[in-house]
Amino acid sequence: MKKHKLSPFAVVAISFLSIILFGTLLLKLPFAVKAGVDALSWVDSLFLSTSAVCVTGLSTIPNIAETLSIFGKIVLALLIQIGGLGIVTIAIYVLVVLGIKIGVTERYVLKEALNQHHLGGMIKLVRSIILTSLVIEAFGFILNFIVFIQDFEFINAVGHAAFHTISSFNNAGFDILGSTSLQAYSGNVLLNINTMLMIIIGGIGFIVIRDILEKKSWKNLSIYSKIVIKTTLILIVLGTLVIKLFEYDNITWLEAIFQSVTTRTAGFSTVNISLFSYTTLVVIMMFMFIGASPNSTGGGIKTTTLFIMFKSITSFLSGKPFITHKRKIEDQNKNKAFVVAILAFSVTMFMFLVVATIETKNTNYNMTFIEVLFETFSAFGTVGLSMGITPHLMPASKVILSILMFIGRLGPITIFGIMNKNWGHPEISHINYATERVLVG
């Protein structure tokens, strides 16, 4: 009888699903919540675990700080850390530390999990990802501790600094300060800058971080790294200007730039976004859909996808070949970028329609069109920004958004790659067909 091996895509998906289910069980335990607080329901435990592992930040619990016990908060932080780095990456690293030999199969799974092109250097890359992440988080922890020690006792300041560092570097957006995210620290320059740095570093991806540390020169960076850094900076500046323009009298420049940084990937907020105009909310949804960069802790269609789509359109309109940094981009990359964007948008809108239909039967809370749409885009982009409706969603809607967060974290390519065994390796036909031009537009 022929054995059917799981594809690397399936292994990655199952690893994430397994840790989500394990996290659900831990958060369901009575001592995961504070004394006198009812244990979380199965749906809320699943949603919270999924949101943590998929580094989203959406929560069906109005106030995590007052609901979860120390045990529950530690579990949440660990789920965020595992979800950000990737369970496959962590598992391989543990095996390396234990001295267990890593075979070709494991290396191939790791290659797909990290979206690499070659098998060579996988173990070295894993070591680099883990160690670099820990060093960066240690630096972030120190700066956060300086802020929180001014408002909390030593042990609480340590807890808040550690949790916030893990959440910001992994672009999760969870906080344990209360129900208003970081609004109480909207004017704290050190916390704002440190949080933005953690978000940006985690959002540009481990490959770019490694490239910067090794090359130490813009000229020597890979084209991929240059594209990611340029696109990230442009989006941050553009987002800041647009948000400040539309909310000129409502927010400061510091709040505008913070919101621009956190909108694409993290989900923290130093302002009440439910008070924003519809125009600003639409812009934020667009940025949430774009998301972070490949091999990062963020979701969305990714910055490189946006870059390739934009350059493809401009090169087509100008009648010039797609050239960037004196290199021609392959047609396969262009096709993949448009496929990713179209699949992502289609899935997101389908889920929105399902949730919107479900919530029409919600007699306890009257949700608007924009609120449901915003929540759906936030779930796919694994951002975590919310207009405050998450705790009021019906159980079925929570499950739907949990699925969408899962898809957003793994990416449409991984999900559809599970169903298509030839994804990325199309069958080669030995038959040559006549070409045909079809009228378009």
**Tens of pLDDT along 252-262?**
999 999 999 99
In a domain, 156, yes or no: yes
- Give the CA distances from residue 40 to residues 30, 69, 119, in Å, rounded to whole numbers and listed in that order: 8, 12, 43
Q: How confident is the model at residue 115 (pLDDT cuts 50, 70, 90)?
A: low
H/E element holding 327? strand 327-328
How confident is the model over 214-254, as pLDDT tens digits?
Answer: 888 888 888 889 999 999 999 999 999 999 999 988 899 99
Range 398-420 average pLDDT? 80
Q: Does residue 123 register a pLDDT over 80?
A: no
Q: Does residue 430 register a pLDDT over 80?
A: no
In a domain, 429, yes or no: no
Check residue 420 and give left, alpha or beta (phi > 0: left; psi -120 to 50: alpha). beta
In a domain, 437, yes or no: no
Helices (H), 205-252: 206-215, 223-246
In this structure, of 271-285, 314-328, 390-404, 420-434, the range with the lowest mean pLDDT score is 420-434
Tally of domains within the chain: 1
In a domain, 438, yes or no: no
Number of CB atoms found within 10 A of residue 311's CB: 17
* pLDDT score of 93: 62
In a domain, 434, yes or no: no
The dihedrals phi and psi of 33, each to the nearest 5 degrees, come to: -115, 165
Q: How confident is the model at residue 152 (pLDDT cuts 50, 70, 90)?
A: very high
What does pLDDT average to over the chain? 85
pTM of the model: 0.87
In a domain, 311, yes or no: yes
In a domain, 154, yes or no: yes
Give the residue numbers spanning the domain of 120: 8-418
In a domain, 427, yes or no: no
